[in-house]
Structure 1
Amino acid sequence: MTLPALLHAVIFDMDGTLVDNMRYHSEAWVALSQRLGVDATAERFEREFAGKKNEEILPVLLGRPVAPEELTRLAEEKETHYRSLYSPHLSLMRGAEAFIARLRGAGARLAVATAAPTENRRLVLDGLGIRSLFSRVVGAEEVTRGKPAPDIFLSAARFLEVDPASCVVFEDAVNGILAARSAGMTAVGITTTTPPEVLREAGAHFVAPDFATLPPELEARLLITPSRAPGC
């Protein structure tokens, strides 16, 4: 894939990307697994399940079909526990606030695309007061398939009214990088939960530990003036 000279839209994953919270998700998943008598590790959740919807995770975790009522109950148990763990630590990823401000000043179109359920999105986006910074927030309930399918990123591009090829996605998980690449978008891996070499192997065009230390080549493609971005 040849990268476009200019990238006109930016789509952010939320968990592990805008906020460094995946350890709390993993802790909540492990606690639920142990209560259910299932042997599962935090590493498995971060490697295999990150970016997927709860209704995709639970049948695999339990090794059987899960009725809608049970799925709703178990998902709520896990998410409530996660929110109780993470709420005291709520904060934006290093450099994210300044980076988003620079993008907005450059006229880039911004969206969030996340598998996080409504209450989790409310905790982060409203708790940090950043929801209004994005033109659209796309949730898992708006698409049929979770990551690594490209659906949620393609939906965000449609809402932003941009060509997928002009979008860059920021992600922390292998499933998210695979989804971004499948959508035909530039993929940037944030290394909060996954080593840079693993993200690169999955297809990340760039990797960085946070938003304060992004590769200069990527910033040159993103931090543009409206006059240099026809069609924006």
Structure 2
Amino acid sequence: MIQLSKLKAFIFDLDGVITDTAEYHFLAWKALAEDLNISFTRELNEELKGISRMDSLEKILQFGGKEQEFSEQEKLELATKKNEHYVELINKITPSDILPGIEKLLRDIKQANLEIALASASKNANMVLEALKLKDQFDYIVDVTKIKKGKPDPEIFLKAAELLKVDPSSCVGVEDAIAGVEAIKSAGMYAVAVGPKSSFQKADLVYETTEALSFKEIKERFEE
């Protein structure tokens, strides 16, 4: 008889799942790209979802045909400039910026005595959670500066499971990026995606919006 995993933990992405800082990322990358005379579109911004700051910069430079024009040190300075602008923008975040349905989902998970971790590519995750007044809801926040490989590599989700001391097969990962869903599945976890169903063929369960997220349904589907 196959031994089924018991649900023990939820591991969340931040941007686009807990709060929508994607617009702030877009504005900060757009300002940097325009300084470099690179046209930055919302379509290109979509491709940056879930990937690290340096990988995002590389994509933008490739898009503008300028990937060979900067040294590694200059690229670090560009990424820092973008982040400083982004931090200025997110300083305006308040609990009213928590996406619909998320507070209830976190409450339901806690009431079921399950663990919660954050696996975000954002180096500003702690600051954002504090501004949202949600930090105490999370048992662990993975330190992304110690993660060697970005999503779609599963490293950050595996690290979250390790910190929570649970088997990856006992975890549900919640993501809004294709790279993030791929990372969850590669980690051997159950993948819940937020966004258009057509974009997430690899997810186990897809919700169009965060407001539709249902702890009861996710738990039932996980245990099926």
TM-score grouping bracket, smaller chain normalisation: 0.7 to 0.9
User: Alpha carbons of 1:108 and 1:211: their partners in 2 closer, same or farther (altered >3 Å)?
Assistant: farther
1:156 and 1:67 map into 2 onto residues whose CA distance is 33
Q: Structure 1 unaligned segments of length 5 or more: list them.
A: 225-232
Question: Secondary structure of 1:51's match?
Answer: coil
Partner of 2:213: 214
Partner of 1:230: none
Instruction: Give the letter aligned to residue 170 of structure 2.
Output: S
Question: Secondary structure of 1:110's match?
Answer: strand
1:95 and 1:62 map into 2 onto residues whose CA distance is 37
Question: Secondary structure of 2:132's match?
Answer: coil
Q: Counterparts of 1:32-181 in structure 2 under 5 Å?
A: 32-46=32-46, 48-63=47-62, 64=67, 67-90=71-94, 91-117=97-123, 120-181=124-185
- Residue 182 of structure 1 deviates from its aligned partner by 0.9
User: Alpha carbons of 1:159 and 1:108: their partners in 2 closer, same or farther (altered >3 Å)?
Assistant: same
- Farther off after superposition, 131-140 or 57-66: 57-66
- Counterpart contact for 1:115–1:139, Cα < 8 Å: no
Question: Secondary structure of 1:187's match?
Answer: strand
- Residue 185 of structure 1 deviates from its aligned partner by 0.8
TM-score (norm 1): 0.82
Instruction: Give the letter aligned to residue 217 of structure 2.
Output: E
1:55 and 1:181 map into 2 onto residues whose CA distance is 24
Match of 1:189 among 193, 202, 218: 193
Root-mean-square deviation over aligned CA pairs? 2.3
1:157 and 1:67 map into 2 onto residues whose CA distance is 36
Aligned length: 213
User: Alpha carbons of 1:212 and 1:49: their partners in 2 closer, same or farther (altered >3 Å)?
Assistant: closer
- Counterpart contact for 1:99–1:211, Cα < 8 Å: no
- Residue 89 of structure 1 deviates from its aligned partner by 4.7
- Residue 126 of structure 1 deviates from its aligned partner by 0.9
User: Alpha carbons of 1:221 and 1:162: their partners in 2 closer, same or farther (altered >3 Å)?
Assistant: farther
Identity %: 35
Q: Structure 2 unaligned segments of length 5 or more: list them.
A: none
- Residue 210 of structure 1 deviates from its aligned partner by 3.8
Write the deviation string for residues 90-120 of structure 1: whole angstroms up to 9, x where unpaired: 4211111121111111111110011101xx2
User: Alpha carbons of 1:89 and 1:126: their partners in 2 closer, same or farther (altered >3 Å)?
Assistant: closer
